[in-house]
Amino acid sequence: MVPTESEGLAVEVLDLVKRYPKSPVNAVDGVSFAAYAGEVFGLLGPNGAGKTTTIGMLTTRVRPNAGVARIGGVDVIRDPVRARAQLAVVPQHSNLDRSISIRDNLIFHAAYHGVPARVREERADELLDQFGLLDRAKDKPDFFSGGQSQRVMIARALMHEPRVLFLDEPSTGLDPAARLFVWDRLRELRDSDVTLILTTHDMDEAALLADRVGIMDHGHLLALDTPEALISSLEGEGTLELTADRPADGSVVDALAAVAGVERVETVHAAIENGGPEPSPDSQPLRVRLYLTGDAALHVAPAAAVLHEHGLALQDVKLGTPTLEDVFIHLTGRSLR
Amino acid sequence: MNAVAARAPELEPGTQWRAFSAVLYRDLYVTGREFHVFLAQVILQPLFLLFVFGKVLGTLNLTQAGYTDILFPGLLALTAVITALQALAFPLVAEFGWTKEIEDRLLAPMPTSFVVAEKVLFAVVRSLIATAIMIPIGILILGSIPWRWAGLPLLLVGLLLGALVGAGFGLLMGTLVRPERITLLFSLVFTPLLFTGCSQYPWPLLDQIRWFQILTAFNPMTYVSELMRGAMVPQVPHITPWKCIVVLIFSVSILLAVGMKGFYRRAIN
């Protein structure tokens, strides 16, 4: 029996719980969410947050201790075979069949899913072309780079036209060009009514690709909304980055931290950002980032006044608006990286 | 974004069997394309045993006349068991351990038990091909092999049960052994299994070494070897075929049941 509410939902998760044997805590602890057809749904969180376990339960590979998971209205625990026919998984690491060419990887995958012979041949060539792999169709996956394997696995996943496509950390380990390529293909999929569920610990990926983002930590779903809405929940909060003309001692930092509205002050070391050797802090002009509870622009004058009191001149100012990363820090009290 | 999605369609009848056949076809396709690798993998060991124990020792008069009649049925049994074992154990350790190739099958629209059944069936097919090849090789090396048409049905039953015993062992090892322990699998399990299975000596004669006779009685391969002798050289002392069949059916059931359980534990967390 499927309640009528779940009609129209591509993915539905209700109070899902998973505790692995011998583990003292729940890996997933009462998670609920739903995704619509054609939606890109991102699960964002650090390693060990429970994202992959949640996906594992939805894809019939992990058995929940409690709760319900449905794909296209099909209960994945009661009817895993029918659920598998609806979904496809692109894992983080290659699981391609190494004994056969990548074209055969696509064709056999489709055969497992009952796609007729002529259709699977045509579709394989179309997808290989679309993913820029046509010239390597006959190669075995052995010597493919991470990015190429990723492309083959996405193409393979699309061979049986799944309604829901799960991607685990789709751009981890990819170089920037490969990452952009994968993102472009995923955006195209969104337009074809395929529901994408992706897990990531990459803020940019979540913000750029996902229609909605669920933030997970310690097995809990802490927040769930569009990236814009999540960020605007921190409205009025911002950052201010100040660079002075000369080096300065810690008393300036303390004075800045005492300014009304400043939550935290962080000293920025330019040379480290550029990958160079760490310079002595005394030799570098002062550069600090202020985390504020209010609008950044309103804090420029008070901060400049503090610098002036300490005999420093303000050379550069950068106003920052909150990002998903700040939302994560706000929710969990710690950084993702 | 389209908020209205139709419910997932019912499965077309036969979906699971189509998935099963496609996976079996993939395995046969790969074996067919790398048939020389398959041959080397399964034939080399019994070939050398046959050559050294049958041909070399016989020519040097270090074995009694008629030893090859005892040896050949035993080597057929060995080939049946070992080929099926290898067809399951090594790929499974790799697929669950590092290549993860099995995931695409586990996500195919069929029950997990079908994935196991396909593996077992494929191992049996490989095993039967390998034993069939052993027959002309035996004739080529030994000049003649003990052959009784009347024993053929029993021979086929023995080969099938031998293949299933091997598949059961393979399933068990493939799901229990962690990838980093694969060399241990060879030295601690594979080799003892090979030499306590009565393929090179008839079990009833072992009463001169009583403790070894008892030990070999615990290896299911012993009953495959003895069944083969019952079928091909009934004049040689051997365990009564129906006893072998009962023990083998029992062993196969246990091995497959425990192996299946191990597979489920690896496939679904």
CA angle at residue B147 from B142 to B148, to 5 degrees?
170
Q: Which of A102-116, A137-151, B162-176 has the lowest mean pLDDT?
A: A137-151
- The pLDDT value recorded for residue A304 is 85
Which residues fall within 8 angstroms of residue A25, CB to CB, at 6 or more apart? A19, A218, A219
Residue A5: pLDDT band with limits 50, 70, 90? very low
Can you give the pLDDT at residue A28? 92
CB contact under 8 A, B26 and A8: no
Model confidence at A157: pLDDT above 90:
yes
* pLDDT at residue number A334: 65
Mean pLDDT of B167-180: 88
B100 touches chain A (CB under 8 A): yes
Which residues on B lie below 8 Å from A86 (Cβ)? 8
Looking at residue A235, its pLDDT comes to 62
B210 confidence band (pLDDT: 50, 70, 90): very high
pLDDT at residue A291, as a whole number: 79
Q: Is the pLDDT of residue B16 over 70?
A: yes
Candidates B1, B11, B23; nearest CB to A112:
B23
At A50 the three-state DSSP class reads coil
Q: In whole angstroms, what is the distance from residue A247 CA to residue A258 CA?
A: 20
The CA–CA distances, whole Å, from A316 to A273, A288, A295, A300, B244 equal 17, 11, 18, 11, 89
Half-sphere exposure of A4 (CA within 13 A, CB side): 0
Query: Using CA atoms, how far apart are residues A104 and A110, in angstroms rounded to an integer?
Result: 10
Segment A179-238, tens digit of pLDDT? 888 888 888 887 788 899 999 888 888 888 889 999 999 999 998 998 888 887 776 677
What's chain A's average pLDDT? 84
Using the predicted structure, report yes or no on whether residue B203 has a pLDDT greater than 70. Answer: yes
Residue A239 pLDDT class (50, 70, 90 cuts): confident
**Neighboring chain B residues of A38 at a CB cutoff of 8 Å:** 1-2
pLDDT over 90, % of chain A: 39
pLDDT band at B6; cut points 50, 70, 90: low
Residue A249 has phi, psi (to 5 degrees) of: -95, 180
**Interface ipTM:** 0.88
Say if residue B218 is exposed, middle or buried (CB neighbours under 10 Å; 0-12, 13-18, 19+). Answer: exposed
Query: Which of A70-74, A173-177, B159-163, B190-194 is least confident?
Result: A173-177
Taking Cα atoms as reference points, which of A213, A236, A240 lies closest to residue A226? A213
State the amino acid at position A314 in one-letter form. Answer: L
Chain A nearest C-alpha distance from B77 (Å): 29
Query: Which two structure tokens, joined as six digits, stand for B109?
Result: 């629209």
The answer to which of A21-35, A51-65, A268-282, B95-109 has the lowest mean pLDDT is: A268-282
Q: Which two tokens stand for residue A90?
A: 């692109």
- Using a CB-CB cut-off of 8 Å, the residues of chain A touching B1 are 36-39, 211
Best residue of A95, A105, A120, A142 to probe chain B, by most B CBs closer than 10 Å: A95
Q: Give the closest of B3, B8, B109 to A163, CB-based.
A: B8
Mean pLDDT of B51-73: 87
Chain A residues whose CB is inside 8 A of the B17 CB are: none
Q: Is the pLDDT reported for residue A273 higher than 50?
A: no
Main-chain dihedrals φ then ψ at residue B23, nearest 5 degrees: -70, -40
pLDDT at residue number A143: 84
